[in-house]
Amino acid sequence: MEQNQEISKPYVEKEVNKEEFKAIYMKNATLESGYSEDHWNALFEKEEGKIYIISEPATSAATSMCISSGNNEHRIYFLTEESTESLYDFPGKD
């Protein structure tokens, strides 16, 4: 292993309340990513009864916030810039 290569932490996720979820969202929201207070207000503010989950970044390089939503939950997770850029790359895409 290279000297400067960071070892990934174990995958950790935890359920949080809506206020904690919002605080993490706002801390990591950027206009470049499309996340903003307006986005929060439009999609999350009026919702009730949802489960909120935070997946901790695996390394310090995982700084790009992503959000996935299902029937009853919202999840924040973090990817590296490289992972974010290749997220929609499919085999055979050139």
Note the pLDDT tens digit of each residue in 34-87.
899 999 999 999 999 999 999 988 788 888 888 999 989 999 998 877 666 555
Query: What's the structural domain count of the chain?
Result: 1
Residue 1 lies in a domain: no
Q: Is residue 2 part of a domain?
A: no
pLDDT at 92 over 50: yes
CA dist., res. 2 & res. 21, Å (int)? 35
pLDDT of residue 1: 46
93 within some domain: no
Question: Residue 30: what pLDDT?
Answer: 86
**Structure pTM?**
0.75
Strands ordered across the beta sheet of 73-79: 13-16, 51-55, 73-79, 64-69
pLDDT score of 51: 96
4 within a domain of the structure (yes/no): no
pLDDT level of residue 31 (50, 70, 90 thresholds): confident
What range does the domain containing 70 cover? 13-83
